[in-house]
Chains A and B, each alone.
Chain A
Amino acid sequence: MTSNAATLPKIAAGRPGSLRRAEIRWGYLFLSPWIIGFILFTAGPMLFSLYLAFTNYDLLNGNYDLLSGKNPDWVGTKNFTEVLGLEVKALQTPDQNGAEVLDHGFAELFRVGNTVVGASDVDFWISLKVTVSFAAIALPIGIVVSIALALLLNTKVPGVRIFRTLIYSPVVVPSVVTTIVFQQFLNGDAGWLNQALKAVGINGPAWLNRTEWVLPALVIIGLWTAGGSMLIYLSGLQSIPTELYEAAKVDGANFWVCFRRITLPLLTPVILYDLVLGLIGTFQYFVIPYVLTNGQGTPNKAAYFFNMYLYKSAFAFGQMGYASAMAWILLVIVIGVTLVVFRTSGNWVFYQGGAKV
């Protein structure tokens, strides 16, 4: 105590701002774990991965040592042009083999009449298509179901807390377990879902073996963990001032009018948030389709998601330069989609007090 009393006036008497400088030093000291981690595990790897994207880094064959100068070959933008490469050619007859007209290194992606579109990396475009289609089906359904659940669970009925707990609980189940359960659950013959459908007279499909049903099957699996977004919507609902509903009730508004005019507008910021994170999440969607199809994206690559292809390129084929290029393309897509969503959000997201983000 005495030493403190002695030093305190000294600081105050010293150069102005020495107390302030001590505060800054302490502040940065407390932030240092994150700053070091950011350099080691985010910024550093990002720069390195950008470098790798312009090389032919091969995990399996290359024996590189970057410290002693044994670098992988610099290939310029070759990885990017190969990932994205597309060409359009005319066919002589609509049933001609596409390989006859496409350049070397290109394979047929799809055809419209007499025109064939070829890609230098068909799997990239397939995985992108799978990912985007899944986002287009899964996100809207997920948002609607989560809001509906949140509305039901926001009521004051007896046992509502138990219902909340049970509906949320699948979120903490390991994804691998979820996949194992649903692999059985969605079985075409003995699966419980089809048994239940049969009980009401519907013949359920072989969910996991049919090209057109595997994405809906993944949507069903995703709905099992809708409790995660439900909770966010629930807290959004609970933050809506009750006076608004009371005022509306005095005006004679029914449930539907209240929902359309009060609840939904005030939930739009939460919907935006859920949508953005959902979009980002879909581009990282991996565990469930990977475990479900043993990494193959079966049937017929209908469940071959972008991240599965990226993982395979990097860690199964060892093409780390190529995979890094894909990762950066992914980053550009994610940033682009996020910006578009935010730009258009001004039209449908309602902020209380009129503040716009």
Chain B
Amino acid sequence: MAANQTKAGNLPSKAAPRIVIVHNRFALGNSTWKFISAGIVVGILTAICLAFCSPYLYLFVTSFKSAGQLSEPTNPLFPSDVATFSYQGQDLQLYYVPINGQKQVLALYKPGRTSATFVDPQHPSAEPITWEGRTRALDKVFIPSWHPENYATAIQSIEFLRLLFNTLVMAIIGAFGAVSSAALVAYGFTRFRIPFGGVLFTLVMSTIILPPQVTIIPTFIFFQRIGWTGTLLPLIIPHFFGNAYNIFLLRQYFMGMPYELDEAAKVDGASPWQVFTRIILPNSRLALAAVFMLHFLFAWNDFYNPLIFLSGNESSYVISLGLQKFLQLHNGQPNLLSAVSLLAMLLPLILFFLAQKTFMQGIVLTGVEK
């Protein structure tokens, strides 16, 4: 009662600012206001996107730098070397030297504490110029110098092609299993009235909150006993039995499909299997593609399961695991690390950019990113 009264009592005072705002809108002009606010939003979003994309830029430029460029703190953003000038058999570094208020490009001939001798590359035969000041404060002249050979080195030392092959085998076969099993189960849940169907579906969904740690130890013992650890099988086979997210996604999709189609097919004498393969599957290609892609990305990015099931057998390593081992060995070589990192994220990113609509719809439908 008391709350109701205060709410009612507030009403008149709330009505007062109403007029002020409406008046403001008119003063500014609706379209002008919209234009300004859109400009502000675009500005903020551009800044955020720059921040979000800076790790990509970091990987890109670092992967093309040499070890020497990385250890040079004044080195510019893009891979560059200090420009040099060949003088009397010596490679002299070029600097921007301010002389009489003008910056000239000169080659450092004899460095010194308070003064240095420079040679003018335009007139190498002229007398060397003596300049008073600290050379360390001068800006060096940089020229672009990219090192794509980092990629060759990295690909070779991480055995990238083998990792790629293993990862593709694991991700593609697993994705096939994930799609087919989830489709079968979702079809079973949507098109058949079965006893305990509701209970079973609740059970499916409750596996989402089950921490994998509760099952991973016995699963590991089981796979070890049948000799599957160190192979890709533990990373593929379990996905042939339906995963809760995928089942949910396809169930939502199948429920939205008109039942008249399968009823008509049934009248024509089609078996439930024929309805499944001829009506349900062909009409849900987009949803199936979304599940395929979600699983492919999950498998490509997964590190936890490969770490547990593949440890000890390097020949069956997948990209994520190979990358972590590479990190342990080459922590001091950010250029090689960046090169392989870039390669490892290229395929998921390309896949995402190409099929983002299918992908995002799939995510929104399940409400979950794996």
> Does B165 touch A at the CB level, under 8 Å?
no
A331 to B328, CA, bound (A): 32
> Does A345 touch B at the CB level, under 8 Å?
no
Contact assessment for B212 and A252 in the assembled complex, using a CB-CB cutoff below 8 Å: no
Q: Which residues of A contact B215 (CB under 8 A)?
A: 41-42, 45-46, 49
In the complex, the chain B residue whose C-beta lies closest to that of A167 is B52
- Contact A44:B218 (CB < 8 A) given known A169-B352, A176-B320: yes
Q: Which residues of B contact A254 (CB under 8 A)?
A: 21
Contact assessment for A172 and B45 in the assembled complex, using a CB-CB cutoff below 8 Å: no
Contact assessment for B49 and A166 in the assembled complex, using a CB-CB cutoff below 8 Å: yes
In the complex, the chain A residue whose C-beta lies closest to that of B363 is A231
> Does A267 touch B at the CB level, under 8 Å?
no
A131 nearest CB across to chain B (Å): 12
For the residues of B in contact with A, the DSSP-based class is helix
Most A CB contacts (10 A, CB to CB) among B22, B45, B193, B368 go to B45
Name the interface size band of chain B: 35 or more
B242 nearest CB across to chain A (Å): 4
Q: Which residues of B contact A171 (CB under 8 A)?
A: 369
Which one, A24, A38, A169, A324, contacts B207 given CB within 8 A?
A38
Contact assessment for B197 and A27 in the assembled complex, using a CB-CB cutoff below 8 Å: yes
A153 to B48, CA, bound (A): 11
B336 nearest CB across to chain A (Å): 11
Contact assessment for B344 and A174 in the assembled complex, using a CB-CB cutoff below 8 Å: yes
> Does A241 touch B at the CB level, under 8 Å?
no
> Does B337 touch A at the CB level, under 8 Å?
yes
> Does A152 touch B at the CB level, under 8 Å?
yes
For window 2-59 of B, CB contacts with A under 8 Å fall at: 17-19, 21-22, 38, 41-42, 44-46, 48-49, 52-55, 58-59
- Contact A280:B364 (CB < 8 A) given known A33-B184, A185-B58: no
> Does B297 touch A at the CB level, under 8 Å?
yes
Contact assessment for A152 and B188 in the assembled complex, using a CB-CB cutoff below 8 Å: no
Which one, A30, A38, A160, A166, contacts B187 given CB within 8 A?
A30
- Contact A152:B213 (CB < 8 A) given known A180-B327, A192-B58, A231-B364: no
Name the interface size band of chain A: 35 or more
A127 nearest CB across to chain B (Å): 12
Most B CB contacts (10 A, CB to CB) among A46, A155, A327, A334 go to A327
Contact assessment for A37 and B242 in the assembled complex, using a CB-CB cutoff below 8 Å: yes
In the complex, the chain B residue whose C-beta lies closest to that of A334 is B211
B23 nearest CB across to chain A (Å): 10
The stretch that binds A, out of B98-106, B146-154, B301-309, is B301-309
> Does B349 touch A at the CB level, under 8 Å?
yes
> Does A81 touch B at the CB level, under 8 Å?
no
> Does B261 touch A at the CB level, under 8 Å?
no
Number of A-B contacts (CB under 8 A): 254
User: Please, what's the 1-or-0 string for A312-325, where 1 marks a CB less than 8 Å from any CB in chain B?
Assistant: 00110000100110
Contact assessment for B194 and A23 in the assembled complex, using a CB-CB cutoff below 8 Å: yes
A276 to B352, CA, bound (A): 27
A170 to B353, CA, bound (A): 11
Contact assessment for B44 and A152 in the assembled complex, using a CB-CB cutoff below 8 Å: yes
Which one, A160, A192, A307, contacts B213 given CB within 8 A?
A307
A171 to B269, CA, bound (A): 46
User: Please, what's the 1-or-0 string for B189-206, where 1 marks a CB less than 8 Å from any CB in chain A?
Assistant: 101111101001001100
Contact assessment for A231 and B369 in the assembled complex, using a CB-CB cutoff below 8 Å: yes
A218 nearest CB across to chain B (Å): 15
Q: Which residues of A contact B241 (CB under 8 A)?
A: 33-34, 36-38, 40-41
A202 nearest CB across to chain B (Å): 15
A325 nearest CB across to chain B (Å): 10
> Does B115 touch A at the CB level, under 8 Å?
no
> Does B181 touch A at the CB level, under 8 Å?
yes
> Does A243 touch B at the CB level, under 8 Å?
no
For window 211-258 of A, CB contacts with B under 8 Å fall at: 224, 227-228, 231-232, 235, 251-252, 254
Contact assessment for B200 and A1 in the assembled complex, using a CB-CB cutoff below 8 Å: no
> Would you mind naming 26 contact pairs between A and B with Cβ atoms under 8 Å apart?
A31-B188, A31-B194, A38-B203, A41-B241, A45-B215, A52-B217, A157-B42, A172-B301, A173-B301, A174-B303, A174-B344, A176-B303, A177-B345, A178-B55, A180-B338, A185-B54, A251-B18, A252-B22, A276-B209, A290-B303, A291-B303, A291-B327, A311-B308, A314-B220, A327-B211, A327-B214
